[in-house]
Amino acid sequence: MFIRVPKGTQDILPEDISKWYYIEGMIKEILSKYGYKEIRTPFFEYTELFVRGIGESTDIVTKEMFTFPDRKGRSLTLRPEGTAPVVRAYLEDSMGRTSKVIKLFYLGPMFRCEKPQAGRFRQFNQFGIEIIGTKSPAADAEVIITVLAIYKKLGLKNLEILINSVGCKKCRVDYVQKLKKYLTNKKDFLCSECKERYTKNPLRVLDCKKDSCKKIIESAPVITENLCQECKSHFAQVKSCLDDQKIIFRENPRLVRGLDYYTKTAFEIISGGLGAQNAIGGGGRYDDLVEELGGKPTPAVGFAAGIERMIITIDQQKIEWPAEKRLDVFVAKIDKKNNDTAFRLLQKIRNTGFSADMDYSEGSLKSQMRIANKMGVRYTVIVGEEELSKNMVILRNMKTKEQKEVRIDNLINELTS
Ligand code: HAM
């Protein structure tokens, strides 16, 4: 029996790769125009980074990390997200020294040991952006605007932006107390995980997806009514920046997101067609994370989106993918005797800048023509004994199906004309 791909992972096959090139290319093009620089961090980090960064009592840290020891027994974890690694690199490479505000982006695989389902994988790809070093509400709006620009360029429609403020260290303490008080006599009706969350991190109860807990949460006090003056004013300014740019959003005072590092703004972008896993992306401000990971207090804000979910949405919305790039030329030979000449000609054609290929099996001319047709090349060059004796080859225009004999030393000119 052959070995299958691990549960929750998938191959990206050659027939789908052009979708990935297209999306990744678009992301890189827009982000570089908006002033973001790419950063590539390792696929694994010391486990402690995520425990401290994401939060000990989050689902990601308690249930979803792929953790393993290295040969010396230090605990490593496949990165479940990109923000904590980017902040680690920001600190390790003293990026704050060269510039006060740093704008970074990343693209690549993340790993979470979740129960696989439509749109939810154990290895998935994210693109993310992080602005480190500014507390300006305009930066929060810029993150949202940037991501929407990417979605728009890809043609995505019917996306909903949900936004909230989860307050800061100061005002959250009071809110958490109020929430705890509200939950006290309802504790017995919470799910077993939320009973634990009630003690360890009550805010996480707001993120529970179980119906019984959701019902209890419905009437819980809301965080936006308990914000301090600074958080209130920050939130109002973010919303005003978005209004100014005519960006339609919906406030959702129960949005807390699955990571503990958020402060003030938290937001999510959802796509109706995705079913239960409807978040196409999410992010927010994380003003305490840099300090939490050993740096000086440094405000920051960012966002990440799942690329698989973007592809699913594009397909569901029947948005057309750009036509796949095809090769210019296929070199075929009438007889295997002409292999060497065909090979040499192929290299010459490639060296002049055309994209070209040949078939290395010893198939008949008919089967080579079938391959050329399937590849959708513009021209096929046919190398045969009779023509070679006159220093010529046959050039077939695959669209018009016209073919003519051309001199080898004039072939490149013929291809260009
Ligand atoms: P997150 O909400 O955990 O945020 O993930 C962002 C996006 O990644 C989700 O909205 C979803 O599209 C995709 N995603 C997450 N888990 C899976 C999965 N198992 N399968 C497929 N797609 C998935 C973060 O990761 C934060 N680091 C975002 C951020 C950046 N906040 C500030 N800066």
* Ligand 1 binding site (Cβ under 6 Å of any ligand atom): 81-83, 112, 114, 119-121, 124, 126, 128, 130, 258-259, 279-284, 286, 302-306, 308-309
Task: Give 217-236 pLDDT, tens digit per residue.
Answer: 989 999 999 999 999 999 99
Q: Which atom, in ligand 1's list, is nearest to the CA of 310?
A: 12
227-253 burial, b for 16+ CB within 10 Å, e for fewer? bbeebbebbeebbebbeeeeeebeebb
184 near 202, Cβ under 8 Å?
no
Question: Is the pLDDT at 209 greater than 90, yes or no?
Answer: no
Which band of pLDDT confidence, cut at 50, 70 and 90, is reported for residue 163? very high
Neighbours of 223 (CB within 10 A): 25
Nearest CA to ligand 1 atom 11: 306
Of 50, 122, 126, the residue with max ligand 1 atoms within 8 A of its CB, to mutate for a pocket test, comes to: 126
Q: What's the pLDDT at 230? A: 97
Distance 135 CA to ligand 1 centre (A): 22
Which band of pLDDT confidence, cut at 50, 70 and 90, is reported for residue 282? very high
Q: What's the pLDDT at 247? A: 97
The pLDDT > 90 percentage for the chain reads: 89
3-class secondary-structure state, position 164: strand
Q: What are phi and psi of 267, to 5 degrees?
A: -150, 160
Global confidence as pTM: 0.94
Nearest CA to ligand 1 atom 9: 281
Q: Are strands 102-111 and 75-78 parallel, antiparallel or unpaired?
A: unpaired
The pLDDT > 70 percentage for the chain reads: 100
Distance 407 CA to ligand 1 centre (A): 58
Which band of pLDDT confidence, cut at 50, 70 and 90, is reported for residue 272? confident
Distance 308 CA to ligand 1 centre (A): 11
Distance 370 CA to ligand 1 centre (A): 44
Task: Give 354-390 pLDDT, tens digit per residue.
Answer: 999 999 998 999 999 999 999 999 999 999 999 999 9
Q: What's the pLDDT at 417? A: 81
Question: Is the pLDDT at 409 greater than 80, yes or no?
Answer: yes
Question: Distance between CA 10 and CA 342 in Å, rounded?
Answer: 38
Question: Is the pLDDT at 275 greater than 90, yes or no?
Answer: no
Distance 268 CA to ligand 1 centre (A): 10
